[in-house]
Each structure stands twice: as structure tokens, then as C-alpha cells.
């Protein structure tokens, strides 16, 4: 059995989109140890195919060379045969290199793939077809213009690395999957005092405000959910607390949990929600991979590049002439790409997803 070290991406959403690679490697008989930042570790622990998770206590953007060398020394005698490095910088390659893992596979990225043994050019990575082509919601999406450059689907981007060591299967690419035991999810929901029927709102987006649906829209959506008989909780990081408070003030009775949960608790809560509405963010990818009815709201980014898992998800994307721009803030100053997605349209789409789930169950 091949022992594999997976150097996980530093962002939660990217880590979720790496799960198809994990599935392919596990299918090929690999035993997988995933190394990730503390913020990503709870997602890795919920990932089928990952046998062990090691938390890397590195700070974002810092070299932390002494810590990396110490961790590598601990890994050196464990018999890892291959390492898959999913970051594009030299820092992410240091641990497997210092640990003397014989094969270190990753994309060229920074310094033309320095410290990798298998340097993969993205242009040479064979695309893997997604299990179900993502259908953009007809209520708000137009046909994409051929002239606009299309970035690769990140799920296929990561999974293609398996092809370079023989585990990649041609054809269907598995959707990202996360799993939390139902009794654990139920215990966490009860701990936070939420009823059985509740909607998760995830208004944060670490990349920048160009990815954030207006707070007033979230508040209006929360009121609609309450009128339909659902409780509402707002999930996010401490930096989202003010936004969560504003939503809760407008929709009386909503619970602002931004900054009040650890990441593993947020994952467990999402596993038990009735439905989730989110910007293009890590929590959106988590909810969709957990198989919950999930609506992703896209403006400056492209759902063909970073799509949510297709189990029970949908996206709203207007595809205006200026979108996707992939900027942190709206370069035109109006954010029409998100402001023009109405709360009514979002609620209608979420309600459709939840109804479809109940009809199957």
C-alpha cells in the first residue's frame, strides 16, 4: 500500500475542491496523510479517503522555516513514497522536500516548480470531466460568451495530478464529498440551541467585498426564511460579526454565530442545516460537499472555475458584461453583479433545492 503525503491548500474552499484527488488516490489503494493549516484541518478530517490529519502550525505568508524543518524531521521516517503539493509556492514544498519524500508532485507555480520532482505544467494536465456538468440557474443566468477566457475547474485541476502517477481515471470526476456523523452534527446543533428546521446564511468572503452579496439582501432573505417557518443562523469568522449582527437586527430572532464557533463546529452545523445560502466562499463549498441544499451567489468570480459540489447545490450568477472580473473590490464601484440578484430570486432557488431534497428523502 502506497503511503502518500498530501500538502493541502491553505484556503478552505480549495481544500474541499481537492477531495476528488483524495478519492482517486484512495481508490488506487493509497494511505493518505493530509498536512494542513489549523483552519483547514477540520475539513480534512471530514474528508473520506484521508486516513490521518496533521495540523501545520504555520502562519499565513510566513516562512516559519524552523517549524517546517522540525515537522519534516518527524515525518522523515514514516515511509512516505509520494507527496502531492497543492500550493503553488516554495513554502508549501519545503516539508516534503526536507522530509526526503522521494516523489514530490505539483504544478510549476513559483520558481518553475523548484523542490518538486514531478513538475506539472497546467497546460499539459488532461482535463477530467465532472460527474455532472453544472447547470446555472435559469432564473438569473445568461449563456456565457465564448470570447471570455474560462479558468479551469479547480476540482479537475487538482485531480489531474493523480494521472501523473497512474491513479487518475479517464472520464467521470467524482464530486467533492465531506461527511460528519449525524449524531455529532445533531449534538452541535443542540449545543447552539437551533431547531430542526433552520437556514444557514454565510455572508463572509475572505477574498474581498466584490464577492459579498449585500447585507440588506441577506437580511431580507432571512425574513423570508422566517416567514416560511425556518429559524436562521448566520455563520462566519470573527471579522463577519458586524455583518451578522446587522442581519440579526433586521430579522429579529436570527442568531448571529459569526466568530462564536470553531471551524469544526461550523462544519458540523452545516451538516445539519435545512439549507444554506452563501457567497462564493469556503463555507459554501463545505455545505455543498456535505450534501446540504446550498445556493452559491456569484458576482466577481466564475462558478465554472470554483463550482460547489453538485449533490444538492445551485448557483445564481448574472454574468454581466463586467463579470467575472476576479477583483477584490468592484472596479466600477456599483457591484451590479451581486446587487441585482434579488432576495426573492435567492429564496425561490433555495426553496426549490430544499423541496427537491424532501421529495427524494
Domain residue ranges in the chain: 1-121, 182-360
C-alpha distance from residue 140 to each of 12, 153, 300, 317, 319 (Å): 27, 21, 15, 6, 9
CATH code, residues 182-360: 3.40.50.2000
> What is the rounded CA–CA span in Å between residue 114 and residue 91?
10
Residue 208: count other Cβ atoms within 10 Å of its Cβ: 12
Q: Do domains 1-121 and 182-360 have the same CATH topology?
A: yes
pLDDT in tens, the chain (361 residues): 899 999 999 999 999 999 999 999 999 999 999 999 999 999 999 999 999 999 998 887 789 999 999 999 999 999 999 999 999 999 999 999 999 999 999 999 999 999 999 999 888 764 444 443 333 333 333 333 333 456 788 999 999 999 877 776 556 788 999 999 999 999 999 999 999 999 999 998 777 777 889 999 999 999 999 999 999 999 999 999 999 999 999 999 999 999 999 999 999 999 999 999 999 999 999 999 999 999 999 988 889 889 999 899 999 999 898 989 888 888 888 888 999 999 999 999 999 999 998 777 6
- Alpha-helical (H) ranges within the chain are 12-17, 19-27, 41-45, 65-75, 90-98, 154-159, 182-191, 215-227, 241-250, 263-272, 282-289, 336-339, 343-360
Predicted pLDDT at 128: 44
Beta bridge partners of 200: 233, 276
CATH code, residues 1-121: 3.40.50.2000
CA terminus-to-terminus distance, the chain: 38
> What is the rounded CA–CA span in Å between residue 267 and residue 84?
25
Predicted pLDDT at 180: 98
> What is the rounded CA–CA span in Å between residue 167 and residue 28?
6
Predicted pLDDT at 227: 97
Amino acid at each position: 500500500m502506497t503511503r502518500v503525503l498530501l500538502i493541502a491548500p491553505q484556503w478552505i474552499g480549495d481544500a474541499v475542491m481537492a477531495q476528488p484527488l483524495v478519492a482517486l488516490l484512495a481508490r488506487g489503494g493509497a494511505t493518505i496523510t493530509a498536512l494542513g493549516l489549523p483552519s483547514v484541518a477540520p475539513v480534512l478530517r471530514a474528508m473520506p479517503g484521508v486516513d490521518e490529519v496533521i495540523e501545520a502550525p504555520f502562519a499565513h505568508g510566513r516562512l516559519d522555516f524552523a517549524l517546517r524543518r522540525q515537522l519534516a524531521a518527524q515525518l522523515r521516517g514514516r515511509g512516505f513514497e509520494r507527496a502531492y503539493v497543492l500550493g503553488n509556492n516554495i513554502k508549501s514544498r519545503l516539508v516534503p522536500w526536507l522530509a526526503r519524500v522521494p516523489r514530490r508532485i505539483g504544478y510549476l507555480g513559483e520558481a518553475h516548480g523548484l523542490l518538486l520532482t514531478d513538475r506539472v505544467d497546467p497546460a499539459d494536465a488532461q482535463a477530467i470531466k465532472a460527474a455532472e456538468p453544472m447547470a446555472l440557474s435559469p432564473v438569473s443566468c445568461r449563456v456565457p460568451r465564448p470570447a471570455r477566457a474560462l479558468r479551469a475547474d479547480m476540482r479537475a485541476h487538482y485531480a489531474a495530478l493523480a494521472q501523473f502517477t497512474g491513479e487518475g481515471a479517464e472520464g467521470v470526476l467524482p464530486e467533492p464529498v465531506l461527511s460528519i456523523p449525524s449524531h455529532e452534527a445533531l449534538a452541535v446543533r443542540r449545543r447552539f440551541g437551533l431547531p430542526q428546521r433552520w437556514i444557514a446564511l454565510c455572508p463572509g468572503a475572505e477574498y474581498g467585498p466584490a464577492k459579498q452579496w449585500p447585507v440588506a439582501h441577506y437580511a431580507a432573505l432571512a425574513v423570508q426564511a422566517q416567514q416560511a417557518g425556518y429559524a436562521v443562523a448566520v455563520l462566519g469568522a470573527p471579522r463577519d460579526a458586524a455583518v451578522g449582527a446587522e442581519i440579526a437586527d433586521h430579522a429579529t430572532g436570527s442568531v448571529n454565530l459569526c466568530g462564536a464557533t470553531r471551524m469544526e463546529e461550523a462544519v458540523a452545523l452545516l451538516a445539519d442545516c435545512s439549507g444554506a445560502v452563501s457567497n462564493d466562499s469556503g463555507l459554501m463549498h463545505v455545505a455543498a460537499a456535505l450534501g446540504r441544499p446550498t445556493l452559491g451567489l456569484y458576482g466577481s468570480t466564475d462558478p465554472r472555475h470554483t463550482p460547489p459540489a453538485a449533490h444538492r447545490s445551485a448557483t445564481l450568477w448574472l454574468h454581466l458584461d463586467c463579470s467575472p472580473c476576479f477583483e477584490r473590490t468592484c472596479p466600477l464601484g456599483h457591484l451590479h453583479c451581486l446587487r441585482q440578484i434579488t432576495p426573492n430570486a435567492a429564496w425561490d432557488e433555495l426553496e426549490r433545492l430544499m423541496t427537491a431534497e424532501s421529495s427524494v428523502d
